[in-house]
Every structure is written in C-alpha cells, then in structure tokens.
Structure 1
Amino acid sequence: AENAKREGVTTLASGLQFEVLTAGAGAKPTREDQVRVHYHGTLIDGNVFDSSYDRGEPAEFPVSGVIAGWTEALQLMNAGSKWRLHVPSELAYGAQGVGSIAPHSVLVFDVELLDVL
C-alpha cells in the first residue's frame, strides 16, 4: 500500500502496481504473442528469487504462460520499455507459494521487454 503513494507509481484495478523506468516505442504484445524479456525478481524484503540478468541471457515465453500480473503488465508495455512491477500475491503464486516464495507473497520485478516475437 505504501508503494502506491510513491510518485510515478500507477495502480490498476487488479491491484497490480507499475512504475515506468524506461519508456519504449516498440510494439505491444497481445495474450497470444511470445516475448523476449530480461527480468529481476525479488521478494518485498529485497531477496532475489529469480533473475535472467544473473543467468546472463533473456527469457522467452508466451504472454499468457506466466503469472497473471505479468500477463496483464506485458500487454500494456511497448517493446523497449523497462517497468518495475509490484505484483500482489493473488496475481502471482497466491496461497500456494512456490520454491523460496512463501504463500501470500508480494513480488517485485524489474521487467525489460526486449522483443515481441
């Protein structure tokens, strides 16, 4: 909730929050598209749980094949954009959690949309 008060943060009806770090001018993907992204995912306390930057290569996946918060955000992004997402648990892994992500965790992602494939 505190994050929503920060300048530059937009909160959508779903509860997803985003901040545009870099505005791109490329195409916007649809649910049916595949995308290439770089991302860095942390828990709200800053602990990293996944990062394509750390692996040294971008990830490719279908827009509809990821957590709901990403599916929503990616369709709003232009290729070339970099956004910081605050994803509420109900748009991420919810009550189940996964791996090092505890149930009901808010996730923070820096997502760079490199290409719509």
Structure 2
Amino acid sequence: MLKTRVLAFFMAGILFMSCAKKETFDADAQARADEQIIKDFIAKNNIPAVRDPSGVYYQVITPGSGNVNFGSNPLLSANYTGRMLDGTVFEKSSDPISFRYTGVILGWQVGLAKIQPGGRVRLIIPSGYAYGSSGYGSIPPNAILDFDVDLIKAQ
C-alpha cells in the first residue's frame, strides 16, 4: 500500500512537471524594452550619445590617436567605471586592466572600436550586448550598463 502511494505521488509529480508551462526568454522583446529605457535615460540626463546599429549607444569624449586594427584582436589596456542606470557603481578599475579585444562583452567591442589609445568613450549597453538574461556576479539579469572607458594602449 505504501509503495503504491509513493509510486502514485512520484508519477503525479512527473506528470505535473511535464505539463508545467516553460518560461521562454524573448530576446527581441527584451531588446525593444532596453531600447526604450536607454532612450529615456539619455533624454533625461541630456547625454549626447549616438546609436550604433547594434543598439549600443556611445559618446566619444576623447577620440585618442593611432590606427589600431581591432580586427587583429589586439591586447588592450584600459581603466573603466561600470554603473547601473541608477548610478550605482558595480565595478571600477583601480589600475589599468589588460585584455584581448574579443575577450570582453560585445558592448565594449562595439564601443572600443570607436576610439584609439588615449581615447575615452561612454557606453550605454543594452543587456543583450552585456550579460544578457543570465547576469553576472552583482549584475542582475537583463541589466543595461553604463561605462566610462579610457583606452590607454593597444599592442
């Protein structure tokens, strides 16, 4: 009798789980929501940002100089501050960090290609070009990120 009850309970659980509606992530809907949030943020804060076709917004503060070929995946060195749109700083470099161009989030790849060494760029990155629906560490899922990046050198 006990075995029958346990088996019935187990089977009911399997049936319930198989019938449960699975949540699906709609990347297009998230991108549309991010776009509107970013537009509102830029307007509210009078940021003279330009929209890249990717959806990343950027403001070249200082262009820098040189002729870095980002397609060759150079080793870069930069200082940065990363913020949430509410102004909360989630990370700030105290010393320059070194990284390969393709080793960073897509939003940085889009933005860094807009400047040269000695340049500074502000990036407002939609979640799909940051950490997406997974988030990362203290960065929640679907977070739009706001970065100031100073590109120090490229090799």
Deviation at 1:71, TM superposition (A): 1.2
> Which residue type is aligned with residue 27 of structure 1?
N
Tell me which residue corresponds to 1:38. Answer: 79
**Aligned residues with identical type, % of pairs:** 34
Deviation at 1:77, TM superposition (A): 1.3
Tell me which residue corresponds to 1:27. Answer: 67
Q: What is the TM-score when the length of structure 1 is the normalising length?
A: 0.89
SS of structure 1 residue aligned to 2:109: helix
Cα displacement string for residues 5-60 of structure 1 (whole angstroms, at most 9, x for unaligned residues): 546311011110001122212233414111000100011111111111xx2x1000
For 2:88 and 2:56, the matched residues in 1 are separated by 20
Q: What is the TM-score when the length of structure 2 is the normalising length?
A: 0.69
Structure with larger RCO (C-alpha < 8 A, sep 6+): 1
**Corresponding residue to 2:88 among 43, 47, 69:** 47
* CA-atom RMSD in angstroms: 1.5
**Residue-pair matches, total:** 114
**Greater percentage in strand:** 1
Matched, 1:9 2:42: no
Say whether the 8 Å CA contact 1:41–1:48 is kept in structure 2: yes
**Greater percentage in helix:** 2
Gaps of 5+ in 1: none
Runs of 4+ in 1 over 3 A off after TM superposition: 3-7
